Structure 1
């Protein structure tokens, strides 16, 4: 994105005001005493200010900067912001440059991102970078970039302000969950894992086909090969990956603190990432606020789209949104509630968890976690979570 507007300005810092005060004091002393040495000193100090103003102006007029934002960030994860800095002067290098953001959202970032560049040679292009720390999810908007230098004498501060709008979406905070926790649930309900109607796997017998280069010798059916006069292989079915559908319940978010809904959102985002890493087909539905429904699928792009949708959820809207179960069949459903668990909500046989149970699923800094034991309630067939201390 090209800069929209560039502003240049001078300013005096503490060192500049001190230098100006000493220069004025020496000038008054030289006038009152008519001492040649004081006149020479006064002239040198004034000359230093003039040289500083001329050089810094010539140095900064040739600089061009472009902000390069990442595709996304995550809460409490470093947000790397890159700048492409170009010095278009033929002979004048640039020194001691400080790059800072003037309009970063304090609501979303911890402080204003800033960095510095020691040297940028004539006709050179380099990349500088700075790090911001997101504190909440949502869209962070950037606008003005400021480049400042006090080179060469630290007297005058010369700066240029480049207006360059930008936006980056911050995903919810994601936690490391206990390994195989999803498989513990899946092993108790085999919905979502089944043999496909296609060959190419290693499960049950599917049919016979002609031998192809690269087939395993163990799959050759020697009896049928002898009858046909050519090599014939047994084709086996393949097992489809387990399917998991996550339902985020934020219908009653107004009755709970704002952090409760955000915690449930982080729980869902962590489950999405964990399911992707463990090979699940994962989908998403949200009840209580508008959000697109994602049917179970496996893939990095699919995972990114789900996290993108979670990052853009607006809990301030009064629109209830809608979700449905007919778009995803033969899947395991997990309902994550913001607040108390409502077992009557959601598809029959769904697994119900609350946002408070995130602490039992996530790993601590020492790699320990609480082990999840699932207990079935016979009267409804609904699985609930019973947690006991353990080490994964």
Structure 2
């Protein structure tokens, strides 16, 4: 409390004290039948009280932090507490029925213990903050090392038996804590768009005043996706376990869980991309000759062309073409096939599609991981353009790819999608409609189905770049142009 607050408090105390003394004088004057003095003293006393109430007290009230609104503590009764309450009712009824002083003493002691336990539990939860640290990169199905730190900001009072839980946003999928799910099932589980609750993180027996405590634990995230942490729940059963009290501490942050890459089959190790590198008409360090020029002091001696030097009587060096690095473009079709989820078989088909979609995400992550480790240049293109990742190499680029795949979800069912087919089916229908319209009225110049696909995926027109297309489309619906330029992976085969 600052000096101004102390000054206001002392002034208020003086005004109210003076008002109280004058009120006593007014009462004494009234007993001595001095009506005018009593009336005047009462008026002055009331005036001083009003001054304190209307002017100074509101100024103090504005400085008061309404901790009771922020410090919302909830209470639940444990099994031991129910037994204690039943015993309390029995003792109370016996004391009332027998009028035994000893029973009344026992009853009062039990009630006092409940009140004291409630107060001690609230003091244990007061002025507590929580910090959660986790690795920069977390993969689904792998144990992640988490660090929970609790800080006790109270100056004198320690905190006992604190349980820390992390809460996430409430949604509609099953809880994260599914112990029956295996690591193999993690690939077929939907992403963390559901209600994901980390559950109990740590139990701290004692946290001294003005001190902190830390615990490390391992937690396995069964599903990929983003885990937005909205609050921490701090609970305690101290001192006797009769009542469980808890409060929520607001938090901001999230944990992004990557899909776990898996080893690829031997077939993908022998993709055409691995057959060799492609030379380009750019200076570099390849094997094909680009040209001969004069020697510069910065050139290496190994590049000197001695035959050209002898002919021209000047130092000449060879320049070679640059060999393009190994490149891979992963094209992920996120369109959803037409399924009526209101029917029983439709719900089953939706569940199967979601499992296939998750396996396709794992396949894309595995491709990215394998070819990044092979020092290839990898690019990710999906139907949702905001998830595209430009080409690059290295581990940092791999994590950018995995971040995009971690939050990848199927497209929403729109009217066009309900009419049937995925991305390539819609392209084929558009080409057919455009072909029929050409015989009647020449349409305005618009990109055809393949042109639209090339506009959406520009690398499809680049024959030097190898493509892998992952799509939910049915077999037989892929245009021949796409077949010739890419390797197609159907989700139903995963």
Q: TM-score, normalised by structure 2?
A: 0.57
Partner residue of 2:329? Answer: 245
Tell me if 1:325 matches 2:458: yes
Range moving further from structure 2, 238-247 or 314-323: 314-323
Partner residue of 1:145? Answer: 232
1:77 deviates by: 4.2
For structure 2, the residue ranges without an aligned partner over 5 or more in a row are: 1-68, 178-196, 311-315, 340-348, 418-422, 424-452
Q: Residue 240 and residue 179 in structure 1: after superposition, are their counterparts in 2 closer, same or farther (change >3 A)?
A: farther
Tell me if 1:110 matches 2:244: no
Separation (CA, whole Å) in 2 of partners of 1:316 and 1:129: 40
Q: Residue 102 and residue 17 in structure 1: after superposition, are their counterparts in 2 closer, same or farther (change >3 A)?
A: farther
Pick from 150, 156, 161: which aligns with 1:91? 156
Higher helix share: 2
Q: Residue 152 and residue 247 in structure 1: after superposition, are their counterparts in 2 closer, same or farther (change >3 A)?
A: same
Separation (CA, whole Å) in 2 of partners of 1:33 and 1:324: 89
Kept in 1, the 8 Å contact 2:164–2:232? The answer is yes
Separation (CA, whole Å) in 1 of partners of 2:161 and 2:289: 71
Pick from 311, 315, 338: which aligns with 1:254? 338
Kept in 2, the 8 Å contact 1:211–1:220? The answer is no
| Number of equivalences | 342
Pick from 362, 385, 389: which aligns with 1:294? 389
Q: How does 1:271-290 map to 2 (within 5 A)?
A: 271-287=367-383, 289-290=384-385
Kept in 2, the 8 Å contact 1:210–1:233? The answer is no
Partner residue of 1:268? Answer: 364
Higher strand share: 1
Range moving further from structure 2, 143-152 or 131-140: 131-140
Q: How does 1:1-392 map to 2 (within 5 A)?
A: 6-30=71-95, 32=98, 34=100, 36=102, 38=103, 41-67=106-132, 73-78=138-143, 82-104=147-169, 105=171, 107=173, 109-111=175-177, 112-113=197-198, 114-118=200-204, 119-128=206-215, 134-171=221-258, 173-178=259-264, 182-186=268-272, 189-190=275-276, 193-194=278-279, 197-199=282-284, 210=297, 219=302, 239-251=323-335, 253-254=337-338, 257-287=353-383, 289-310=384-405, 311-316=407-412, 318=414, 323-326=456-459, 329=462, 330-341=464-475, 342-344=477-479, 346=482, 348-358=484-494
Separation (CA, whole Å) in 1 of partners of 2:488 and 2:86: 71
Q: Secondary structure at the match of 2:484?
A: coil
Q: Secondary structure at the match of 2:130?
A: strand
Kept in 1, the 8 Å contact 2:148–2:202? The answer is no
For structure 1, the residue ranges without an aligned partner over 5 or more in a row are: 359-392
Partner residue of 1:373? Answer: none
Separation (CA, whole Å) in 1 of partners of 2:144 and 2:172: 14
Q: Residue 202 and residue 41 in structure 1: after superposition, are their counterparts in 2 closer, same or farther (change >3 A)?
A: farther
Separation (CA, whole Å) in 1 of partners of 2:278 and 2:208: 61
Q: Secondary structure at the match of 1:7?
A: coil
- Name the larger-Rg structure: 2
Q: TM-score, normalised by structure 1?
A: 0.69
